[in-house]
Structures are given as C-alpha cells and as structure tokens.
C-alpha cells in the first residue's frame, strides 16, 4: 500500500461509512410502526445504529493489536459526544430545556457505566466481569424506559419514587421522534438496514487499516489518530443527528442520544470487545482520558441539572473542556 492509495482508501471509506450511517438511521425510523416499539427502546436501538462506526473501528483496532487506538476511539468519541451533542447543540439552538428527573435517571446510569469502564481499564475487574455488571445495570434501565408511566401505578413503590420515575420515563418516551429528519426514508427497509450495517463495518475496517498505515508513514502518534482523528470522524453522523433533533425541538433526544451513545460505546466497544479480543497494555494518556471522561460527564450533568437544561454558556463550557483535553493530550505526546 502506498501513501496515495491509503489516503484514497481512507477518504472513500469515510464517505461510504457516513452515507451508510445516515441510511441506517433513516431505515430505523419506521421500526415503531412495524414492531410497536416504545420510544425508550427505540432510542437505544438508534443510539446503537449511530455508534456502529465507532464500535466497528474500535474492534478492528483491537483485533490488529492497536489497543490504544481502539480504546482511544471509544473514549475520544464519548468525550467528543459530550462537547458536540450537548455543547454544540446548545450553542446553535441557544437553549435545550430538560426535566431534572430525566437528567438524573439517564445521568446516573451513564456515570455508573463510566465507573465500570474505569475499573476495567485499570484492570480491577476482568472484561467478562465488566460485561456482566453492565448487563445487570442496563437490563432494568432499558426495561424502565420501555414502560408506560401508567403501569407504575401497579408497582408498590413510595409515592415520591413513583412520581420521579413517571416523569423520568415520560421525558424519554419521545426521544426518537425523527419524522422531520427522514432524509433517507426512501432507503428504509430490512435490506437497507442489513446492507448499511455491513457497509459500516467494512468501511470502518478499511479506515482503521488506512489510518494505521498513514500514521506510520507520516509519523503521527497513534493515540492522536485514535482519540481525535478516528473518534471525531466516526462521530460526525451522530453529531449531525443530534443537532437536527435540537433544531426540531426534540430536546430530550439530545440528552438521550449523547448519554446512551456513550453507554453503548463502552458496552460493545470496550467491555464486549475486550472480553473477546483482550484489553492489552495501555498508555498513561489513554488511562488519563477515561478519568477526564468521568469528570467531564459529571460537570456536564451538573450544568444541565442546575440550569434545567443546556444554555449557550453551559454549551461553551462543555466545548471548552473538550478543547482543554485536546491540548493536554497533544502536549503530553
């Protein structure tokens, strides 16, 4: 492979991956009508679809023993998601109002998932244990998302707990209202879902192989390649979707898209892939980045909680934290 052919391969794979991601997202719009899925469950499915590029790229990197690139893609994508999906959306729209119950419910789950990822990366727990812990955490979370708030009346819970869950559930039931974003509706269908998913996986593999070759040829640090270049490029479809959701007034979807995407990234991109392919040794910068993700998630959630949503100021703070992170890693390397 030459530098020219690797560059062309990288550009072609990125283009096809982006197009396939949008087709996959558009195809999933018709799932509620076909299978009577709730908004909460569909939110997780669409988040998984949006995260397919990151997950596929990370697994490919781990498969070829580029552990810092693989883990860096996931952590870098998660940090970028907070800045782009929450911060940039707030800057563009000016205000993203959210209910505190939804922030606490989704935010607490996201923080617990990040803590499990930290335990895994620090090797306090085995990859298989992390998969089990995440499964135990996410099954009740997804189950609650799928509930109708009226069903909570049948549960023997304290009144304040039942009221909290009812608001939290109701605030997430419309998180995937994408009727106004149906650019790719003409491509929707089972064949489109299958073909676009395969295309995303194949093009992600091509991007990673080309990126590794170019990083060696151009002497670019592999942590920079994984944590910033590949992480940002694979997150672009997710970012565009979140901005459109914010512009069309589906504010809660922006929070759900960001936090659920980060959760799915960690589950499949780090925990499951590490259980299958192994985690390997990681550079200090990669370990530092997971701590930064935890701290940035806490700050972002606190800003959302006290402001009852995101404003241009909180959006600018979130983006600023990401830029500080980029500067620290670049100076470190």
User: What pLDDT does residue 31 have?
Assistant: 58
User: What pLDDT does residue 90 have?
Assistant: 86
Distance separating alpha carbons of residues 27 and 310, to the nearest angstrom: 30
User: How many structural domains comprise the chain?
Assistant: 1
Phi-psi region of 132 (alpha: psi -120 to 50; beta: other; left: phi over 0): alpha
Provide the whole-model pTM. 0.88
User: What pLDDT does residue 307 have?
Assistant: 85
Dihedral sign (CA 157, 161, 166, 172): negative
Q: Which positions of the chain have pLDDT values less than 50?
A: 175-187
User: What pLDDT does residue 180 have?
Assistant: 43
Q: Judge whether 73 and 290 are in contact, CB under 8 Å.
A: no
User: What pLDDT does residue 40 have?
Assistant: 55
Domain that holds residue 14: 3-332
- Per-residue pLDDT tens over the stretch 215-250: 999 988 989 999 999 999 988 877 877 777 777 766
User: What pLDDT does residue 41 have?
Assistant: 60
Q: What is the dihedral of CA 29, 32, 38, 40, to 10 degrees?
A: -10
With 0-12 / 13-18 / 19 or more C-beta atoms within 10 angstroms meaning exposed / middle / buried, residue 43 is buried
Give the C-alpha distances (Å, rounded to integers) separating 156 from 140, 151, 159: 16, 11, 9
CATH code of the domain containing 89: 1.20.1420.30
């Amino acid at each position: 492979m030459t530098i020219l052919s690797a560059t062309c391969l990288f550009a072609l794979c990125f283009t096809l991956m982006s197009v396939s991601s949008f087709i996959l997202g558009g195809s999933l719009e018709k799932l509620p009508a076909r299978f009577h899925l709730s908004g909460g469950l569909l939110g997780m499915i669409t988040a998984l679809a949006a995260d397919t590029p990151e997950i596929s790229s990370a697994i490919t990197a781990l498969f070829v023993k580029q552990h810092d690139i693989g883990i860096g893609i996931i952590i870098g994508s998660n940090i970028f998601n907070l800045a782009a999906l929450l911060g940039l959306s707030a800057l563009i729209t000016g205000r993203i109002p959210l209910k505190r119950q939804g922030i606490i419910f989704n935010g607490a789950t996201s923080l617990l998932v990040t803590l499990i990822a930290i335990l895994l990366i620090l090797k306090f727990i085995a990859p298989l244990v992390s998969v089990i812990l995440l499964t135990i955490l996410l099954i009740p979370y997804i189950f609650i998302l799928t509930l109708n708030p009226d069903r909570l009346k049948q549960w023997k819970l304290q009144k304040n707990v039942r009221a909290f869950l009812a608001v939290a559930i109701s605030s997430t039931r419309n998180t995937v209202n994408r009727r106004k974003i149906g650019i790719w509706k003409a491509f929707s269908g089972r064949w489109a879902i299958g073909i676009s998913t395969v295309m995303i996986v194949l093009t992600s593999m091509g991007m990673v192989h080309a990126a590794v070759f170019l990083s060696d040829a151009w002497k670019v640090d592999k942590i920079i390649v994984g944590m910033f270049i590949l992480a940002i490029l694979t997150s672009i479809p997710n970012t565009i979707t979140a901005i459109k959701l914010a512009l069309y007034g589906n504010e809660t979807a922006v929070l759900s898209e960001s936090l659920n995407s980060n959760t799915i990234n960690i589950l499949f991109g780090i925990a499951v892939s590490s259980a299958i392919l192994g985690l390997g040794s990681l550079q200090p910068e990669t370990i530092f980045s997971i701590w930064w993700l935890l701290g940035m998630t806490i700050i972002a959630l606190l800003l959302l909680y006290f402001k009852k949503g995101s404003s241009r100021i909180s959006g600018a703070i979130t983006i600023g934290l990401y830029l500080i992170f980029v500067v620290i890693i670049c100076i470190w390397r």
